[in-house]
Structure 1
């Protein structure tokens, strides 16, 4: 059973996500920063992820396109600001369908014995941007992605 926790307090510009994974921190970090693994867990179940570029290093850029079962395409991109293996990374995130609404995400990984505690802290430019993300149904996609990541990690350890 997943212990996914999504915290979006009213009136704030941030979202905090927490989840534990039954895998060592270095393996979780690899699954999150290696494009061959990212394509296997990121996005909705019925979609396919195409990775245009993914350069997890300070100043490196990334762009992915999620191809939905209904034929729709949803592109996202950003810049890595910090990558420290296996502790985590910081990046910007922008949905190309709503340009100009950039958020900053910090992904932290903490060892808990043979398990890893993942925490994501996302800061939006405004409360309205944050509320728009929450109202978009992001929690459904997040849940599916995190569950797919857990399944992938079982094959990597």
Structure 2
């Protein structure tokens, strides 16, 4: 469903670059990234439930969320360094299961013709090995599934469902 996620992991570099188009306005896509209630409804794979413990999407704000599948829990936390409405988010990201592996991430939101938008970003890891560990554990599938769910959420809002 929706548009494909493009994920690039340059060999020998500790980073991931991504791009995804949406058939929805930039304001809707940005809001879904910064509103905790919406974020919890789409982030990550379908088989995970998301609980938001903290989510202050503003410059200097913090966040923490926990995803669960049965008895398994996966917690993530970080800080929003810069948040510019409908344009840009710069944040740290840490999976609590990999202590001391903190990434610096940005997402740039761009309005496209016809009420469409795109999100383009980059995650900078402490090492190539830590980046590869996220790849091995399915970050691409998780991001792709999450963005497909975001499409569904925004389509449902558009149709009043």
Q: TM-score if structure 1 supplies the norm length?
A: 0.96
SS of the aligned residue for 1:11 comes to: coil
**Structure 2 Cα separation of the partners of residues 73 and 99 of structure 1:** 15
Deviation of 1:5 (Å): 0.4
Structure 1 unaligned regions, length at least 5: none
Larger deviation, residues 19-28 vs 131-140: 131-140
Q: Determine if the alignment matches structure 1 residue 7 to structure 2 residue 11.
A: no
Deviation of 1:91 (Å): 0.6
Give 1:92-111 correspondences, 5 Å limit.
Answer: 92-111=92-111
Count of residue correspondences: 156
Q: Please name the residue that 1:23 is paired with.
A: 24
Does structure 1 conserve the Cα–Cα contact (< 8 Å) formed by 2:28 and 2:154? yes
Root-mean-square deviation (Å): 1.0
Structure 2 unaligned regions, length at least 5: none
**Which runs of 4 or more aligned residues in structure 1 lie more than 4 Å from their structure 2 counterparts after TM superposition?**
none
Does structure 2 conserve the Cα–Cα contact (< 8 Å) formed by 1:83 and 1:89? yes
**Structure 2 Cα separation of the partners of residues 11 and 136 of structure 1:** 18
**Structure 2 Cα separation of the partners of residues 94 and 49 of structure 1:** 16
